[in-house]
Amino acid sequence: MKVLIANRNEIALRIQRACRELGLSTVAVYTEPDRSAAHARLADQAVNLGPKQAYLDIDAILDAARQTGADAIHPGYGFLAENAEFARAVEHAGLVFVGPRPETIALLGDKLSSKQAAREAGVPVLPGSDGPLPLDVPVELAQKIVFPVLVKATAGGGGRGIRLATSPEELFDVIAAARKEAKAAFGDDTVYLESLVQEARHIEVQILGDGEGKVLCFGERECSIQRRRQKLIEEAPAPRLSRKLRRDLCEAAVRLGSRLKYRSLGTVEFLLDANGKYHFIEVNPRIQVEHPVTEMVTGVDLVKEQLLLAMGKPLRMCQRDIRTQGVAIEARVLAEDSEQGFLPATGEIIYLKEPGGPGVRVDSALYQGLNIGMDYDSLLAKVIANGKDRRTAIQRLERALNEFQIGGLPTDLDFLKQIIESKPFRKGEVTTTYLDSFAPRPPERKEDLQRLLALAAALYIHSQRAVSQPIPQDRKLATRWMYTAWREQMTGAW
Amino acid sequence: MPRYVVSINGQEYCISLDGDQVLIDGQPVDVELLQLNDSGLYSLSRDQETFELHLHNQDPETLEVLAGGQRFFARVETPQRHLRKRPNTEQTGLVTAPMPGLVIEVLAEPGEMVEAGQCVLVLESMKMQMQIRAPIAGRVTDVGARFGQQVDKGAMLVRIEEL
């Protein structure tokens, strides 16, 4: 079987690896700005789709599948992964879509219908307008609801298309602004209201369904460390959850999955409020960025299981076989300047040294010489560390982030280290608003190290200037006088 | 005697190379910089302390230095050059788009007073939302972008007049 991977960056490589282990051939697709991307040259075949938006071009991708004789298409995450029309087109072309049925994707893509499905499955949902707001919102509405309240776009999801109204006075303005934004971003201005959970934790449950009602649960992940509603650090299992709550969350996710006769991998997202009550948010019908933490604690290769199911194989395990062991934490390394308001950064990867050693996994598609542009998102790499307990996992993650050397452009590595060093994170006591008040401190002044670096810099520049004059020099030593200094040291003449 | 002024994080160091001797701010030090390959990898040692460094020229005078899991910038100049040119750090009130994106919020109006660092506009590009902040305090004289507009990198967003 041949699998076309309709994605780029680390997730494309991740899926290629699973395919290779299963003996499946792989087809990569790439765009003009991604001509030299790693995923394009590491697959068995690669097809140029065209301009930078072409990862969203359904016809071009189906053409690529036809040209290469691919049997299946894996969408990865982002791009077309949650596009029901794409899934339908893939199946219509007689190919296997590695993901849920198109109807399931469509149902879950509409945030109101997915909420309705959760309610029907007996999964607690947040109170709200339970239907789209009419164009003329009755004035009495503002009196009836509890503030603050969220105004959400039905076509949103993944943290997008959400606005907050804090008082009845501003409600109507916020609704109007949310409609305008939703129209611009999703081409659909339908919005609804949902009550805001303050001090909430983001907990999500990984499921895998066979499409016939059998659904497995691979435990939960906590993803409360978010910035502008985008996850930055994720871990499995969620710290400080009672055994009962953990079981309840799993059962709720499985109940919803079974009701939908869910096929393939999915993530059921919940908010956990300060009273320990959980509320359904949405289902992500695809592989998630943070899936490796679950893989590390369960020992299951989720992408492989997903591919096997898509090939028509039955589930290879039952719920009893799924046990979690230890703790795994993932940090997302992004090309951005934490000191400049987290602006996405661009540049060439001048130097690269990825971490390794016990309990460390790096998912990336980086190489020295790669140019990071502005065309796609800023994810450079995911560093995942595990250990027998949370303390060990944190120690390893910290060590791994310190080993990670990326030269040529700014990254959030230092910011990530500051978060995992912080007390609330260490105690596992963070909520989704934790980073709102977490200011990155300026880089630590290491006076002594800086003095040494100043010396190194001067010696380096000096040797460069010396090289431009014809001075014979030992290749291994920076300058000839350095060599002399070294010799004198060796002979004790210094 | 070759001499250099090195600036890192706003701190300046005077380094002179006197024959075999290296002096930093007049004090002799015993350091060794060993080149490990041709692509910028070095080992630096002082007594028994060792560091792995990656050195790379951003321009003839600026080095990017990776050391101990951190990224530094070192400016290396001759004393004469160092004295001759002071960097021009004057901030202007022109705010341009740092990347192409969709304007999803405009938070400043012409005539309005803003503080330095105040958010004046929000851009979205891919899934990233970015708050564009006022570089200086002053009065907004011009807003060059509308809500829902797609702007190119470098497009004028807001102009602020210093009072």
The CATH fold of domain B3-84: Glycoprotein, Type 4 Pilin (3.30.700)
A189: contact with B, CB 8 A cutoff: no
Q: What is the pLDDT of residue B150?
A: 87
Position A143 scores a pLDDT of 82
Nearest CA in chain A to B56: A350
State the pLDDT at residue A139.
Answer: 82
Nearest to B76 among A443, A447, A461 (CB): A461
Answer yes or no: do A344 and B130 touch at CB < 8 A. Answer: yes
Largest CA distance in chain A: 91
The Cα of B142 is separated from the nearest Cα of chain A by a number of Å equal to 22
Output the pLDDT for position A488.
47
Question: Which H helix or E strand runs over B85?
Answer: none
Chain A contacts of B105, Cβ < 8 Å? 177
User: What are residue B58's phi and psi, to 5 degrees?
Assistant: -80, -40
pLDDT score for A478: 54
Residue contact A458–B17, C-beta within 8 A:
yes
Q: Is A476 on the interface with B (CB under 8 A)?
A: yes
CA distance B162 to chain A (A): 22
pLDDT at A482: 55
B24:A401 CB<8 A:
no
A402 interface with B at CB cutoff 8 Å: yes
Cβ within 8 Å, pair A417-B127: no
Domain boundaries, chain A: 2-98, 127-195, 201-437, 447-490
Domain limits, CATH 2.40.50.100, in chain B:
94-161
Is A378 part of the contact surface with chain B (CB cutoff 8 Å)? yes
> Tell me: the pLDDT tens digits for A413-470?
999 999 999 999 999 999 999 999 887 776 666 888 999 999 999 999 998 887 665 4
pLDDT given at position A339: 75
Return the percentage of chain B with pLDDT > 70, whole number. Answer: 94
Decide which of 3.30.70.100, 2.30.30.40, 3.40.640.10, 3.40.50.20 is the CATH code for A2-98: 3.40.50.20
Q: Which of A410, A455, A460 sits opposite B22 (nearest CB)?
A: A455
CATH of A201-437, one of 3.40.30.10, 3.30.365.10, 3.30.470.20, 3.75.10.10: 3.30.470.20
Averaged pLDDT score across all residues of chain B: 87
| A405–B70 CB contact, under 8 Å | no
The low-confidence residues of chain A, meaning pLDDT below 50, are 470-477, 480, 486-488, 490-494
Fold of domain A127-195? Dna Ligase; domain 1 (3.30.1490)
pLDDT of amino acid B117: 82
CB contact under 8 A, B64 and A407: yes
Structure confidence at residue B95 (pLDDT): 87
Tokens 């021009």: give the residue. Answer: B88
Spell out which residues of chain B touch residue A453, defining contact as CB-CB under 8 Å: 8, 53, 65, 67, 72, 74
| A351–B54 CB contact, under 8 Å | yes
Class at the top of the CATH hierarchy for domain B94-161: mainly beta
